[in-house]
Chains A and B, each alone.
Chain A
């Protein structure tokens, strides 16, 4: 076990846990944001650099700080490690820079993007970004690529997090899309005309942090904040059948996986559940889905619900009381 201090909160975690996982155990504001890391996808993380934190003490034995900021999603903790996330101005500064980098070539077409309202990049830039841009050059523009009847690919919005590639490798089986070319012209594509179709391929929509991969069956149907999400299930021979259905009145507009507080799906669902079962008779509704209070999706829905307690960094280091 390793005792690690993050923004003055102390938590004890098994050896080999990453700083990010330890922070998620504490929860609240001190959890570093992630754009590429996905706990359910092996090998993900380390790329977007939004989760950079400062290790001000490497371990109990080695009191030196780590020389650079480290990616919390891929750096394991050590006993006695002291980490600063939002208590470090250096980290906040770096995070602001990363958000700027992610945005300079982003088309900022949120008004016509289906992801708007549930977009990680939107949330991230709301919290850490600048109001204006210093980028005066032209933004890059990819030719559009058709990847089949279910998923719409908007390469211009992609931040190259690689999540969809890992999903195709680990969840969906045979992979026909990948990261092609390199540098700032790298792209997600199938290289040859091909459509991404297999039982679990729709999950690449759920893991995409931005609007690069969206649901063609839901395209331009509605803004997400006009919909009411409900937890629902059905007896599915392929997957768990546990989903979130998004309703407008009585009509089901779309079906997605159930997401946890960190925006990751609990269980990957099959394409039949996602794309073909849109009738209200298909689903047994369990309850309204829990929506993060800060989320734009909660707007106008749960006005009277009390704000949950928010975990802030502490002024001083405090040991947890058993």
Chain B
């Protein structure tokens, strides 16, 4: 059993309530930080921990914090990005639902380190039922003196508010989130300037993922160096993996980074193998945006090394034969899955979620979806396959925000690894009429 840092208290009855959480060592990170450490010392510990942003991009959190413009007198803001909408990812929802106080504790310590006196939790509109849970936790923390004016007589004051979104994947992009929080359409901003200097209300702002911020409490308690000992290389600490798809035990698992992908998929303490004892066909390792990996590249890299659940190992081989850890949303496909249908599904998602601000993404995502729809429904042309590759290449890197890349990668990688399936769809429209045609296809496509 791997070490648990985030979910270790999850099974304690009543952990949702302040008293139980507090009696089990909760809020001691706030006490430690506010009573014995300066904000810079907290920042140092976070830097030492090496924790990388858990939202998908994997940018070192300590470094992001150190970019915060401290030279102005403008107020600073911390925003907790709880707009979890990446297909395949549901860890933040789980964390907030089961351990709201862990997040609140992390927010207090982080805000203190950043010198922010206001913190917003931007939560996706679909999770409206979590607003009550979080607001209750905030209320309790306030009643017990951990939020509000002069916390623990340290002179430091903080307010935390929950702000609901209203159904837009794009608001998970940090500048779109800020726009949305300002009451506008969720159009990502053109960078520079970055939020660290001009974010919410043009003030210095840090936006971090729920899981990142929830990890700050444990990091302060155990110390950054101790945290960095968990995991391997530049993938330090533990990571929540949302496992779904054709597996026996879907759910959220906390892993020490560095266990192998094979163990994670097949061990009983994690996914427990493929549903119905079928064969594995492919995985999407980090949410729908990352390149799909075919079976032959899942357990071993192209260099024949064991593929591990780490940022580096999953990325091994670049886009040719690797993928990304992303947000840790693992989707597993069995042998009966149709990768064309799945690619169309992803493509439809990005088409629906594009904000429409910049032309490559606005037009390109729709174009790809329409072509994929045709192929999947038996109206494809053989030249459409290369056309798709070309469109994805034309979108990639040319857009304002990473949504364009996220739309392009799944398409490009699916064609790279499963071109035969696309060709099969084009050549045999009569065999793919039924929507569950994956099991027929597997007889023809090796």
Contact = CB atoms under 8 A, between A and B. Distances in A.
Physical contact A–B (CB less than 8 Å):
yes
Interface of A: 45-49, 52, 68-69, 71, 74-76, 94, 97-98, 100-102, 104-105, 134-137, 159-160, 179, 181-186
Q: Which 7 A-B pairs have the closest CB atoms?
A: A46-B190, A97-B394, A186-B356, A101-B363, A184-B366, A183-B354, A137-B370
Nearest to B356: A186
Contact of B362 (A68, A71, A94, A184): A184
Given A74-B190, A105-B363, A183 B355 contact: yes
B398 A184 contact: no
A183 B355 CA distance: 5
Contacts of A68: 397-398
Contacts of A71: 190, 400
Interface in B342-365: 351-360, 362-365
Given A49-B359, A101-B364, A184-B363, 13 more contacts: A46-B358, A47-B358, A48-B359, A49-B399, A68-B397, A76-B192, A97-B360, A135-B367, A182-B354, A183-B352, A183-B355, A184-B351, A184-B362
Nearest to B366: A184
B360 A49 contact: yes
Interface in B324-381: 351-360, 362-367, 370-371, 374, 381
A105 B365 CA distance: 13
B394 A94 contact: yes
B362 A186 contact: yes
B328 to A, nearest CB: 24
Nearest to A75: B192
B195 to A, nearest CB: 16
A181 B168 CA distance: 11
Nearest to A99: B359
A186 B185 CA distance: 12
Nearest to A52: B398
A184 B367 CA distance: 10
B387 interface: yes
A102 B359 contact: yes
What is the predominant secondary structure among interface residues of chain A facing chain B? loop
Contacts of A134: 387
Given A94-B394, A184-B365, A48 B370 contact: no
B358 A97 contact: no
Contacts of B355: 182-183
Interface in B390-408: 394, 397-400
A183 B356 contact: yes
A74 B356 CA distance: 18
A183 B190 contact: no
A104 B369 CA distance: 14
Given A182-B168, A184-B351, A104 B360 contact: no
Nearest to A100: B394
A47 B359 contact: yes
Nearest to A159: B359
Contact of A98 (B192, B365, B398): B398
B363 to A, nearest CB: 4
A182 B361 CA distance: 12
A199 to B, nearest CB: 27
A98 B359 contact: yes
15 contacts: A47-B357, A49-B360, A75-B192, A76-B192, A97-B398, A101-B359, A101-B360, A101-B367, A105-B363, A137-B374, A160-B357, A182-B354, A183-B353, A184-B362, A185-B356
Contacts of B354: 182-184
B397 A49 contact: no
Nearest to B397: A68
A18 B211 CA distance: 37
Nearest to B405: A68
B366 A183 contact: yes
**Residue of B351, B364, B399 contacting most chain A CB atoms (<10 Å):** B364
Contacts of B185: 179, 182
Contact of A49 (B168, B192, B374, B398): B398
Contacts of B351: 183-184
Interface string B162-184: 00000010000000000000000
Contacts of A184: 351, 354, 356, 362-363, 365-366
A101 B393 CA distance: 12
Contact of B356 (A94, A137, A160): A160
Nearest to A45: B190
Contacts of A186: 356, 362
A69 B398 contact: yes
Contact of A69 (B168, B367, B397, B400): B397
Contacts of B398: 49, 52, 68-69, 94, 97-98
Contacts of A183: 351-356, 362, 365-366
B358 A48 contact: yes
**Residue of A135, A179, A184 contacting most chain B CB atoms (<10 Å):** A184
A94 B360 CA distance: 10
A185 B365 CA distance: 12
A104 B359 CA distance: 11
A279 to B, nearest CB: 42
Contacts of A137: 367, 370-371, 374
A11 to B, nearest CB: 21
A207 to B, nearest CB: 17
Given A68-B397, A94-B394, A183-B353, A104 B367 contact: yes
B400 A46 contact: yes
A322 B308 CA distance: 61
Given A49-B399, A94-B394, A137-B371, A182 B359 contact: no
A71 B365 CA distance: 20
Contacts of B168: 182
B184 to A, nearest CB: 11
A100 B381 CA distance: 20
A164 to B, nearest CB: 15
B19 to A, nearest CB: 44
B81 to A, nearest CB: 20
B385 to A, nearest CB: 13
A185 B352 CA distance: 10
